Amino acid sequence: MLLFRSRTAIYGSRGLLHQVPRYSLTRNINMDSKQFKEAATSAIDEIVSYYDTIEDRRVVSNVEPGYLKKLLPEAPPQDGESWADIQKDIESKIMPGLTHWQSPNFMAFFPASSSYPGMLGELYSAAFTAPAFNWICSPAITELETIVLDWLAKLLNLPDCYLSTSHGGGVIQGSASEAIVTVMVAARDKYLRETTAHLTGLELEDAIGYKRSKIVALGSEAAHSSTQKAAQIAGVRYRSIPVSKDNGFALTGAALAQALDECRAQGLEPFFLTSTIGTTATCAVDDFEAIATTLAKYAPPNVPGEVWVHVDAAYAGAALVCPEYQHLTAQFEHFHSFDMNMHKWLLTNFDASCLYVRKRKDLIDALSISPSYLRNEFSESGLVTDYRDWQIPLGRRFRSLKIWFVLRTYGVKGLQAHIRKHVKLGEVFAGLLQTRKDLFEIVTGPSFALTVFTIVLKVEGKKERDAITQEVYELVNKRGEIYITSSVVGGEYVIRVVSANPLAEEKFIRKAFEILVDTAEEVRDGKPSRRGVNGVIVNGKAEGVGEVAVLNGFGSAK
Q: What is the DSSP string of 74-123?
A: SS--SS---HHHHHHHIIIIIGGG---TTSTTB-SSS-----HHHHHHHH
Residue 140: count other Cβ atoms within 10 Å of its Cβ: 14
Phi-psi region of 109 (alpha: psi -120 to 50; beta: other; left: phi over 0): left
How many Cβ atoms are within 10 Å of 427's Cβ, its own excluded? 15
Q: Which pLDDT belongs to residue 393?
A: 84
The answer, as to whether pTM is greater than 0.75, is: yes
The CA distance from 385 to 198, in Å, is: 31
Which distant-in-sequence residues (6+ apart) come within 8 Å of 410 by Cβ?
Answer: 115, 117, 347, 418
Residue 425 to residues 229, 251, 450, 520: CA-CA distances in angstroms?
33, 27, 9, 21
Please report, as a single letter, which amino acid is at residue 367.
L
Candidates 342, 343, 272; CA nearest to 310 is 272
Q: How many residues does the chain have?
A: 558
Q: What single letter denotes the amino acid at residue 355?
A: L
Question: In what helix (H) or strand (E) does residue 133 lie, and over which residues does it extend?
Answer: none
Task: Report how far residue 286's alpha carbon sits from residue 291's, in angstroms, rounded to the nearest whole number.
Answer: 8
CA–CA gap between residue 405 and residue 62 (Å, rounded): 35
Backbone Cα Rg of the chain = 28
Q: How far apart are the C-alpha atoms of 213 and 193, rounded to whole Å? A: 15
User: 118 with 362: CB under 8 angstroms?
Assistant: no
Q: Under DSSP, is residue 273 helix (H, G, I), strand (E, B) or coil?
A: strand
Orientation of helix 462-479 relative to helix 506-525, angle to 10°: 130
H helix intervals, 272-354: 288-298, 342-345
Beta-strand runs (E) in 469-522: 485-489, 492-498
Residues 429 and 451 sit within 8 Å (Cβ to Cβ): yes
d(CA 122, CA 528): 48
Task: Look up residue 488 and give its amino acid.
Answer: V
- Residue 530: the pLDDT is 81
What is the per-residue pLDDT for 474?
97
| pLDDT tens sequence for the chain (558 residues) | 334 344 444 444 445 545 544 444 445 568 999 999 999 999 999 999 999 999 999 999 999 999 999 999 999 999 999 999 999 999 999 999 999 999 999 999 999 999 999 999 999 999 999 888 777 888 899 999 999 999 999 999 999 999 999 999 999 999 999 999 999 999 999 999 999 999 999 999 999 999 999 999 999 999 999 999 999 999 999 999 999 999 999 999 999 999 999 999 999 999 999 999 999 999 999 999 999 999 999 989 889 999 999 999 999 999 999 999 999 999 999 999 999 999 999 999 999 999 999 999 999 999 887 765 566 665 555 667 888 888 888 888 899 999 999 999 999 999 999 999 999 999 999 999 999 999 999 999 999 999 999 999 987 788 999 999 999 999 999 999 999 999 999 999 999 999 999 999 999 999 999 999 999 999 999 999 887 644 333 333 434 333 322 222 322 222
8 A C-beta contact, residue 296 and residue 290:
no
Residues 6+ apart with CB under 8 A from 45: none
Residues 6+ apart with CB under 8 A from 219: 227, 228, 238, 240, 241, 273, 274
Please, which residues bridge with residue 238 across strands?
217
H or E, element range at 17 = strand 15-27
